[in-house]
Every structure is written in C-alpha cells, then in structure tokens.
C-alpha cells in the first residue's frame, strides 16, 4: 500500500516500509524558509515514530536537492544597522532536523538529484548514506557570504573525507561534482540521473528487508565510535549485542540459516 501526503513545502510518500520525503520548492531550488524548516522537522518526527516505516529517503523536487537557506527571504531584513541573530535561528530551524536524522533509529538515505549547497549540503551529509545523480554537486558555500559551515557540516564532513579535505572544501567553498564526491568518500554511489530513483529504491528496499533493531544499534555504535576509546566501544558493542540477541529477528535469522531458507524479518 502506498500513501502520499502533499504538504506546503514537502511531499511525503510511504510505500513498502520506506518513507520518501521530497523537498518541494523547485522554483527556488528547494531552499529552506521558515515553513519548510517547520514542516521538515514535523515530518521527520512523524516518520521516526511510525512503526511501519523502516527506512527514510530524503530528496528534492525538480533539478536541485536543496540550495540551502532562501536568501530571498532575508532581503527585507538586510538594511544598514541590521544585526542578525543567527545562533538562535540555527538552534530553532536547523539543529533539530540534524539531530532527528542522526539519532533516528532507522537508516536515512539522501537521494541527491542536483545541487546541494549550504544547509542543503549539510542535509545530505547528515544522512547515513548518499546516492548521487551524475548531475549532483556539493558546495559548502557558507564562506562566500562570510559565514561558517553549519547544520553539522563541520562534524559530518571531516568524518567522511578527512580533516585536510574538509578544511579545503569549507574554506574555499568550491563545488564538488558527483564523480569527485564518490572518489573522496562523500557519497556511496553515483548513478545516471534517470536511474537515481531506481537505485535509491533498491538500497532502501534492501535495508527495509533487514532486521531493524540491528540496523538501529549499528547506526548508534558507528555514530558514537568517534567519541569513545577502544574499551568503551567494546563495552558499547557488548551491550548492543545483548540487546540485538534478544530480538525476534535474531531468532528468525539463525533459524532461517539452519533451515536453509530466506529469513522473514519483521523489525522486532
């Protein structure tokens, strides 16, 4: 069964245990404004709570993934004497969706169909995996308007490409095309533009068929591994394994192996 919900700035489709969130402001390259930020946060919370959803896909409508902050919304404010309160804005409109994606107990895939710039680049990097169209382009554009990378780019990017490369990309703001993004580890796959939807569906379907609790625990272990020493990580693995071992999916996996059949995981 497929359900589709049309919101003001997003389209949400749920089918075969996969929720696809498509940012739907193609006329401004899916740039973030107040409405989009609010609906995006609410939608992430909803799919995170939905037991029928096992995998989340985030993509963009039209020719862009997301161009980041909608600077057109700021035109009326940027007059002599204006002092923006950007720190509070980040905490209200951007930080919540970063935290929701990183802590969601489900895999989150970015299907990057076009340009991902500024907060749009940060959004792609915040996801657990990235599949890029051959037309995709990643730009840490912040320096070009006198700002620093935000929405966790300074946390995610070094972990994906290394500190030196992250320094270069954040300090120069140069575009990274899809083929380079693949070569430096920024994305997991690059596919022809007309195959992006199919390739994303294949990965999402594969993940949706796997034991959900095992995936959730694996995501948590990997995300937290940079903050632990070896002993702490071994302890965390032991606790997670104890938890996973008590799931129905673990019993089903072992039983299916012994019976020489394909497992039917339920996410429990």
pLDDT digits (tens, 9 = 90+) for 179-211: 999 999 999 999 999 999 999 999 999 999 999
pLDDT of residue 72: 75
Q: Whats the size of the chain, residue-wise?
A: 268
**DSSP label at residue 148:** -
Q: What is the mean pLDDT of the chain?
A: 94
CA distance 264 to 268: 11
pLDDT of residue 1: 65
The model's pLDDT over 232-245, given as tens digits with 9 standing for 90+, comes to 999 999 999 999 99
The CATH number assigned to the domain with range 212-258 reads 1.10.12.10
Query: pLDDT tens digits, residue range 16-36?
Result: 999 999 999 999 999 999 999
Q: Are strands 10-15 and 2-6 parallel, antiparallel or unpaired?
A: antiparallel
More confident residue, 121 or 82: 121
Q: How far apart are CA 139 and CA 162, in angstroms?
A: 16
What's residue 76's pLDDT? Answer: 65
3-state secondary structure at position 176? strand
Report residue 35 as tokens.
């409405």
Model confidence at 178: pLDDT above 70:
yes
Burial 45-77 (b: 16+ CB within 10 A, else e): eebbeeeebbbbbbbbbbebbbbbbbeeeeeee
Neighbour order of strands in the sheet with 64-66: 64-66, 115-117, 137-139, 176-177
CA proximity to 58, closest of 89, 100, 1, 90? 100
Over residues 82-99, the mean pLDDT reads 88
Domain borders along the chain are 2-208, 212-258
Number of Cβ within 10 Å of residue 211's Cβ equals: 22
The per-residue pLDDT for range 135-167, each reduced to its tens digit, is 999 999 999 999 999 999 999 999 999 999 999
pTM for this model (two decimals): 0.94
User: What is the mean predicted confidence (pLDDT) over 79-108?
Assistant: 89
Asked whether 211 and 247 are in contact (CB, 8 A), the reply is yes
Query: Does the structure show a pLDDT above 80 at 82?
Result: no
pLDDT at 71: 77
Selected from 3.90.1560.10, 3.90.226.10, 3.30.1180.20, 1.20.1440.230, the CATH number assigned to the domain covering 2-208 reads 3.90.226.10
pLDDT at residue 263 tops 90: yes
């Amino acid at each position: 069964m497929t359900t589709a919900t049309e919101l003001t700035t997003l389209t949400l489709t749920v089918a075969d245990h996969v929720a696809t969130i498509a940012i739907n402001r193609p006329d401004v390259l899916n740039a973030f404004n107040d409405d989009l930020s609010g609906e995006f946060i609410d939608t992430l919370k909803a799919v995170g709570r939905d037991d029928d959803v096992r995998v989340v896909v985030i993509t963009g409508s039209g020719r862009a993934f997301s161009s980041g902050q909608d600077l057109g919304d700021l035109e009326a404010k940027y007059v002599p004497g204006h002092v923006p309160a950007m720190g509070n804005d980040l905490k209200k409109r951007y930080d919540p969706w970063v935290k929701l994606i990183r802590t969601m107990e489900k895999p989150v895939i970015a299907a990057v169909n076009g340009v991902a710039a500024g907060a749009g680049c940060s959004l792609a990097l915040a996801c657990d995996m990235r599949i890029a169209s051959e037309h995709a382009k990643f730009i840490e554009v912040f320096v070009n308007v006198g700002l620093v990378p935000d929405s966790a780019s300074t946390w995610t990017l070094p972990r994906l490409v290394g500190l030196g490369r992250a320094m270069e990309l954040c300090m120069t703001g140069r575009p990274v095309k899809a083929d380079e993004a693949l070569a430096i580890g920024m994305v997991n796959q690059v596919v022809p533009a007309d195959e992006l939807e199919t390739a994303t569906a294949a990965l999402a379907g594969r993940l949706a068929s796997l034991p959900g609790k095992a995936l959730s625990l694996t995501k948590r272990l990997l995300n937290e591994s940079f903050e632990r020493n070896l002993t702490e990580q071994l302890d965390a693995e032991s606790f997670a394994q104890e938890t996973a071992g008590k799931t129905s999916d673990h019993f089903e996996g072992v039983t299916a192996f012994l019976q020489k059949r394909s497992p039917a995981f339920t996410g429990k």
